[in-house]
Each structure stands twice: as structure tokens, then as C-alpha cells.
Amino acid sequence: MKKEYKFPLVSVGVPIVKSDFLEKCLNCIFHQTYSNIEVIIINNAKDPQEGDKIETILTRFKDNKIRYFRNDTQLPIIENWNKTLFLSNGSFFAILCDDDYWEPDFIETMMSLAMKYPGVNIFHSRCLIINENDEPIDITPICPEYEDVTDFIYHRIKGFRLQYLSDFFVRAGAIKGISGFFPVPDGWGSDDLTWFHLSLTGGIVYSSKTLCHYRENPASVTNTMKSKNKILATEIYINGIIDIISKSGAYNPLIVHLILKQLKALKKSRLLNYKAEYFKKKFMLNSFFYQIVLNILKIKYKILKHY
């Protein structure tokens, strides 16, 4: 039985590009135990056939909570996320990707945390990682209920955190106040930078309940990005974190030092891999010449064993 609250309106954005898992995604929204929601659906399919397929699925959902829009041409990922955000009317906002889904109490749990921590702008939950057949692959590491911005950033860039987009829930005024999601090529790292920025004020709060199902598939942004964009996105990501850290105020100087140290290592390793990948694709290098390029880049970034 759904629980009725005189609580604020929650806006759920669904920026759709494909129809494969859309029905399951939408079903989970309309089975939430928290009922005061609006659903902003944007059909952002690349080709008209897929767009029509999406609309056919949407005809199965007759609910006055839905606000539907269809883009004439496909928008870049961040522009579409932000369109979803700025069309919303709720006091709280979450994006649910078209191939992910939530447990029925995701919104209710996030709202409970928002009431418990009125000074916090951002909340998230544990995720189960699944494949295209809904089979479990992995589960995200556990987090403390509360972290400040520096702990949040440090654990993420050290690889102690797995986090996505659909597992987050934010105060709408806060994310709109920073002009929405950060512009990054192909969207890579935009959600991280946005979450880090929102955690500057009040930190971040977490539910250890596994409330989000993240679907791993070959069509994900990271797997389809061009190498050149990965290089540019890495620079923006690193500089964005440094900018956030510079605004973080009186936090533990040791953690700040460790973040800056980790960022240097992260920049070297990622630029090494992405530049090697770029040269391999551009010049169609075989394994022999690829290894030569890789060694040259390792020398450049000073990460060979004798350094």
C-alpha cells in the first residue's frame, strides 16, 4: 500500500535514448511507496524509429503525473539531463536512466534522509550492478551514512566508491543553483563533479539499503566515448575537483593533501591509457608499435618501474 505524505513534490527525470529496458524503468517509478511525484520524460532517441518505439511503450502508462517531451533532434547527454532538470517543478530531483530501476522504497528512503539532514543537499544509496538479463554482477561498496566533501571525493578517486547517476537524489534548488550538471565531453565525469559540488554545503548522506539497480552494458557512456574526448574530459575532471577543493574551507588538511596527490596519479594513469588508445585507433597500430607508443608515454608520465 502506497504511503501518502504531505511532503514536497519529487521530480523524477527520465532522459530516454533507448527502449530496451524502458518498461521496467517506468514500472518501478509508478510503484514507489512515496506518491507525491511528477515524472519528466524526454524522448531523446537518435533516430525516428527508436523514438516511435519509445512512444509505443509510453502508451502503456496512463498517469497524470507524466509530463512528456520529445526532442526534434538528439541533444548531447548533459544538455538533455539539464533540460530534464529545468523542466521539473519539484523540491527534490532524481534522474533514473532508461535501463536502470529502483526498489519501491527508493524515494521514500531518500526523503526520510532529507528530513533527518535538512542541511544536506545530496543523498544516495547502495547499488546492485546487473547485466542485460537482470543477473547480479556486483554490488557497490558500503559507505558511512554521512561524509563531508573531502572524504567523499577522496574515497571516490581512490576507487573505494562505485557510484552512478540513478542512485542519487538531490534538493532541486541546490542543483539548479549551480546551473545543473557540469558540461563535460560525452558526459564523462559530469555526475561526479556535480555531486562533489553539491556536497560542498553540508556534505553527503547515504543509505546502506540496496535501492538502485544499475545496468552495465556495452552502450554505456564510458564504453562508447572517443579517446580524444576522454583525454579532454580527464583534464576537466581533474581541474574541476581542484576547483572544488579550493572552495572546501576548513577541512582536514591531510585529506586535502592526499586528494591532490591522488589527482596527480589519476591524471598520469588516465592520460597514459587514453592517449595510447587514441594513437592506436588513429594510426591503426599493431601490438608491436602500440607497445612502443605505450612505453614512450610511460616515460613521458614518469611511471615506468625505475621512476
- Residues of the chain with pLDDT > 90, as a percent, come to 71
Three cell numbers at 16? 530516454
261 in a domain, yes or no?
no
Helix (H) or strand (E) holding 139: strand 136-139
* 115 within a domain of the structure (yes/no): yes
Q: Which domain holds residue 94?
A: 10-224
pLDDT of residue 255: 92
Question: For residues 96 and 185, which has the higher predicted lDDT (pLDDT)?
Answer: 96
For residue 242, is it within any domain? no
- Is 291 among the domain residues? no
Helices (H), the chain: 22-29, 48-58, 77-86, 106-116, 149-157, 172-177, 190-198, 221-224, 227-246, 253-283, 287-300
Which tens digits make up the pLDDT trace of 272-304? Answer: 666 666 656 666 766 766 566 556 655 655 654
pTM for the model: 0.86
Torsion of CA 260, 266, 267, 269, to 10 degrees: 150
Residue 283 lies in a domain: no
Domain-located, residue 170: yes
Q: Does the pLDDT value for residue 209 go beyond 60? A: yes
| Residue 154 belongs to some domain of the structure | yes
Taking CA 17 as the corner, what is the angle to CA 15 and CA 21, rounded to the nearest 5 degrees? 90
The CATH number of the domain holding residue 26 is 3.90.550.10
Count how many domains the chain has: 1
Q: Which residue has the higher pLDDT, 78 or 265?
A: 78
Domain annotation covers residue 120? yes
Q: What is the pLDDT of residues 74-113, one digit of tens each?
A: 999 999 999 999 999 999 999 999 999 999 999 999 999 9
Pairing status of strand 92-95 against strand 10-16: parallel
